[in-house]
C-alpha cells in the first residue's frame, strides 16, 4: 500500500521521492520506494530521516543520500532506528545515538549535524599537527584554537544544563 501525503504536509517540509529537492539529493524512485519520505526544517537546517526504503540494498544509495544531504549543510536526525542495517549505515556516517536532545525535547534517536562533522575534522587535524611537534607561531595558533574549542564546548554544556533545568 502506497502512503498518501497531503498538500499541507508537503508545504510543511515533507520531502517525497522524486520531488524537486528530493532529486537534488538523489532521493529518487529508481533508488527508493514511493513510501519513503524525509522532513525538512529550513529554520533549523535539519532533515528528519523519517522513512527510507531502499529498492536496492547494498548499493550505497542510503549512504549517498546522507552524503548529499550533508553537502547541502543540513543537520540530520533519525528517530528510534529499529533496522540494524540502517543503524550501521548511520554509525558509519558518524551519527551519534542519544536519548535526550534538550532543545527539541525528543528521545531515542540518532543525530548528526554538519557542525559536529566539521568539529570532528578540526579536532583530528589538530591532533595530527600537534603530533608533528610544531614550534613557534604555528604552535601558538594551535593552542589558541584548542582553547577556543574547549571554551565553546563549556558554553554548549552550560546551555544544555539551562535547557534541562527549564524542561524540569
What pLDDT score does 100 carry? 47
- Mean pLDDT per 10-residue section of the chain, whose length is 168 residues: 81 92 96 93 84 90 91 79 72 65 41 58 67 68 74 71 67
What pLDDT score does 118 carry? 62
- Chain centroid to Cα 63, Å, comes to 12
pTM of the entire predicted model = 0.60
Residues 6+ apart with CB under 8 A from 12: none
Q: Domain-by-domain residue ranges, the chain?
A: 1-112, 115-168
What pLDDT score does 33 carry? 94
CATH architecture for segment(s) 1-112: 3-Layer(aba) Sandwich (3.40)
- Distance, in Å, from the CA atom of 51 to the CA atom of 37, rounded to the nearest integer, reads 5
Burial of residue 95, with CB atoms counted within 10 A of its CB: 0-12 exposed, 13-18 middle, 19 or more buried: buried
- Distance, in Å, from the CA atom of 137 to the CA atom of 24, rounded to the nearest integer, reads 43
What pLDDT score does 70 carry? 86
Amino acid at each position: 500500500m502506497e502512503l498518501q501525503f497531503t498538500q499541507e504536509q508537503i508545504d510543511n517540509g515533507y520531502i517525497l521521492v522524486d520531488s524537486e529537492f528530493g532529486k537534488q539529493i538523489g532521493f529518487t524512485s529508481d533508488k527508493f520506494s514511493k513510501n519513503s519520505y524525509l522532513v525538512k526544517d529550513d529554520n533549523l537546517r535539519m532533515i528528519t530521516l523519517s522513512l527510507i526504503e531502499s529498492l536496492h540494498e547494498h548499493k550505497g544509495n542510503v549512504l549517498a543520500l546522507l552524503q548529499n544531504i550533508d553537502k547541502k549543510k543540513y543537520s540530520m536526525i533519525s528517530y528510534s532506528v529499529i533496522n540494524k542495517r540502517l543503524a550501521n549505515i548511520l554509525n558509519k556516517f558518524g551519527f551519534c545515538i542519544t536519548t535526550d536532545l534538550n532543545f527539541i525535547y525528543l528521545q531515542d534517536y540518532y543525530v548528526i549535524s554538519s557542525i559536529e562533522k566539521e568539529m570532528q575534522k578540526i579536532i583530528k587535524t589538530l591532533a595530527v599537527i600537534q603530533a608533528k611537534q610544531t614550534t613557534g607561531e604555528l604552535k601558538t595558533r594551535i593552542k589558541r584554537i584548542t582553547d577556543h574549542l574547549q571554551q565553546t564546548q563549556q558554553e554548549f554544556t552550560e546551555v544544555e544544563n539551562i535547557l534541562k533545568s527549564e524542561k524540569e
